[in-house]
Amino acid sequence: MNELTAAELLAAQVQGASALEITAAFLRTIHERDGSLNAFLHVDDEFALAQARAVDAKRKHGDLLGILAGVPVAVKDILCVAGQKTTCGSKILRDFIPPYDAHVITRLKQADAILLGKTNMDEFAMGSSTENSGFTITRNPWDLERTPGGSSGGSAAAVAAGLAPLGIGTDTGGSIRQPAALCGIVGFKPTYGRVSRFGVIAFGSSLDQVGPLAHNVYDAALLLEAIAGHDARDSTSVDRPVPAYSRGLDQLVKPLTVGIPREFFSDGLDAEVENAVRVALAEYQSQGAVLKEISLPHSSFAVAVYYLVATAEASSNLARYDGVHFGHRAEKFADLLDMVARSRGEGFGAEVKRRVMLGTYALSSGYVDAYYLKALKVRRLIKDDFDTAFRQCDVIAGPTTPTAAFKLGEKTGDPLAMYLSDIYTIGANLAGLPGISVPCGFTKNGLPIGLQLMAAPFEEGKLLQVARMFERATDWHNRRPKVQAPG
Ligand code: GLN
Backbone angles phi, psi at 211, to 5 degrees: -165, 175
Over residues 379-436, the pLDDT tens digits come to 999 999 999 999 999 999 999 999 999 999 999 999 999 999 999 999 999 999 999 9
Rg of the Cα trace of the chain? 21
Over residues 217-227, the pLDDT tens digits come to 999 999 999 99
**pLDDT at residue 196 in the model:** 98
User: How far is residue 366's CA from residue 159's CA, in Å, rounded to a whole number?
Assistant: 47
Q: Name the residue type at position 53.
A: R
Q: Alpha helix (H) ranges present in 299-449?
A: 302-317, 336-347, 350-363, 374-389, 415-419, 426-431
Cβ(310) to ligand 1 under 6 A?
Answer: yes
**pLDDT at residue 487 in the model:** 72
Q: What is the mean pLDDT of the chain?
A: 97
Residue 266 pLDDT exceeds 90: no
Q: Whose CA is nearest to atom 5 of ligand 1?
A: 173
Q: Which among 104, 277, 282, 240 is positioned nearest to 176, based on CA atoms? A: 104
CA of 47 to the centre of ligand 1 (A): 30
Helix (H) or strand (E) holding 119: strand 114-119
Residue 251 pLDDT exceeds 80: yes
- Residue 318 C-alpha from the chain's centroid: 20
User: How far is residue 260's CA from residue 294's CA, in Å, rounded to a whole number?
Assistant: 6
Q: Which residues contact 244 (CB under 8 A, 6 or more apart)?
A: 225
In a 13 Å sphere around the CA of 179, the CA atoms on its Cβ side amount to 44
3-state helix, strand and coil shares in percent for the chain, rounded to the nearest 5: 40, 15, 45
Catalytic positions are: 76, 151, 175
397, 134 Cβ separation under 8 angstroms:
no
Q: Which region among 93-97, 264-268, 430-434 has the lowest average model confidence (pLDDT)?
A: 264-268
Average pLDDT over residues 97-115: 98
Cβ(126) to ligand 1 under 6 A?
Answer: yes
Residue 243 pLDDT exceeds 90: yes
**Three-point CA angle 233, 234, 236, nearest 5°:** 150
Q: Name the residue type at position 213.
A: L
Q: Alpha helix (H) ranges present in 118-201?
A: 153-160, 177-183
What CATH fold (topology level) applies to the domain 6-250? Amidase signature (AS) enzymes (3.90.1300)
Cβ(127) to ligand 1 under 6 A?
Answer: yes
Cβ(471) to ligand 1 under 6 A?
Answer: no
Strands 209-214 and 166-171: antiparallel
Q: Name the residue type at position 175.
A: S
Reduced to 3 states, what is the DSSP secondary structure of residue 149?
Answer: coil
**pLDDT at residue 428 in the model:** 98
- Ligand 1, atom nearest to 175 Cα: 8
Average pLDDT over residues 322-344: 96
pLDDT category at 466 given cuts 50, 70, 90 is: very high
Q: In what order do the strands lie in the sheet with 186-189?
A: 40-43, 114-119, 72-76, 166-171, 209-214, 186-189, 435-442, 448-454, 395-399, 257-261, 290-294
Q: Which among 172, 182, 92 is positioned nearest to 134, based on CA atoms? A: 92
**pLDDT at residue 484 in the model:** 78
User: How far is residue 70's CA from residue 20's CA, in Å, rounded to a whole number?
Assistant: 8
CA of 172 to the centre of ligand 1 (A): 6
Q: Name the residue type at position 433.
A: L
In eight-state DSSP terms, residue 135 is: S
Helix (H) or strand (E) holding 108: helix 103-110
Over residues 360-376, the pLDDT tens digits come to 999 999 999 999 999 99
**pLDDT at residue 485 in the model:** 81
User: How far is residue 307's CA from residue 361's CA, in Å, rounded to a whole number?
Assistant: 12
**pLDDT at residue 72 in the model:** 98
Residue 78 pLDDT exceeds 90: yes
Backbone angles phi, psi at 324, to 5 degrees: -110, -55
Q: Which residues contact 298 (CB under 8 A, 6 or more apart)?
A: 378, 381, 382, 385
Q: Give the residue, out of 120, 124, 126, 425, with the most ligand 1 atoms within 8 A of its beta carbon, to mutate for a pocket test.
A: 126
